[in-house]
């Protein structure tokens, strides 16, 4: 099936990529102040770069990666408030989109689904954005059209490094697949799923 005839959400030929935390090897951590009543411009820019590199990123994953990049053993309440204020400032400026518990660059389509990188902790179901889960489902259907609903869900469970017993995995992915169906982006429900051809 040709990529441009699927109608599925932004399926890229290389939709399947490993999740790799942003590379901040050249960051001068001393230049990122975590003091004061308002976030310093350098902190705001750092937060924007992290979200731009890793979005859509769950709030908890964002704080975890921020702590790791800045080499902090833990967050004090004032430091966490400053970082949250930086996110809020970016959102007010239209440079970051906040969708529930996820941060991303505004209006950026989710073209990639990120599988676990070997050796890194797998993201829980709740920490993978629905848009990313739907991209994985769309990619799986695009790559192997004509498979049944249950098989596609099972493949997506494995893609994200989960198991059949992972709490919430099947139900979340099933809900995403129903949404693709209800949006008219897949046909052949439920036994032979294919991307609906664009008109």
Range with the lowest mean pLDDT among 10-14, 105-109, 144-148, 151-155? Answer: 10-14
pLDDT at position 12 is: 54
Tell me the C-alpha distance between 164 and 177, whole Å.
17
Range with the lowest mean pLDDT among 10-24, 89-103, 125-139? Answer: 10-24
In a 3-state reduction of DSSP, which class is residue 17? strand
- According to DSSP, the β-strands at 57-58 and 102-104 are antiparallel
Tell me the C-alpha distance between 135 and 192, whole Å.
18
The Cα diameter of the chain in Å comes to 58
| H or E, element range at 99 | strand 97-99
pLDDT at position 7 is: 41
**How confident is residue 13, by pLDDT bands cut at 50, 70 and 90?**
low
Tell me the C-alpha distance between 61 and 128, whole Å.
10
pLDDT in tens, 40-94: 999 999 999 999 999 999 999 999 999 999 999 888 899 999 999 999 999 999 9
Query: For residue 4, is pLDDT > 90?
Result: no
Tell me the C-alpha distance between 164 and 170, whole Å.
7
Neighbouring C-alpha atoms within 13 Å toward the C-beta of 172: 22
């Amino acid at each position: 099936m040709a990529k441009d005839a699927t109608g599925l959400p932004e399926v890229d030929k290389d939709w399947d990529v490993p999740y790799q935390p942003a590379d901040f090897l050249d960051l001068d951590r001393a230049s990122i102040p975590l003091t004061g009543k308002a976030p310093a411009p350098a902190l705001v820019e750092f937060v924007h770069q992290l979200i731009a590199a890793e979005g859509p990123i769950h709030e908890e994953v964002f704080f975890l990666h921020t702590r790791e990049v800045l080499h902090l053993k833990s967050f004090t309440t004032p430091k966490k408030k400053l970082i949250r204020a930086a996110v809020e400032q970016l959102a007010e400026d239209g440079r970051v989109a906040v969708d529930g518990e996820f941060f991303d660059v505004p209006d950026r389509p989710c073209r990639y689904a990120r599988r676990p990188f070997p050796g890194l902790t797998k993201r829980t179901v709740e920490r993978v954005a629905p848009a990313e889960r739907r991209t994985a489902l769309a990619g799986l259907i695009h790559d192997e059209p004509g498979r049944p609903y249950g098989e596609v869900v099972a493949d997506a469970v494995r893609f994200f490094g989960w198991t059949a017993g992972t709490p919430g995995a099947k139900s979340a992915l099933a809900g995403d697949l129903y949404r693709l169906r209800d949006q008219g982006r897949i046909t052949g429900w439920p036994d032979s799923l294919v991307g609906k051809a664009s008109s």
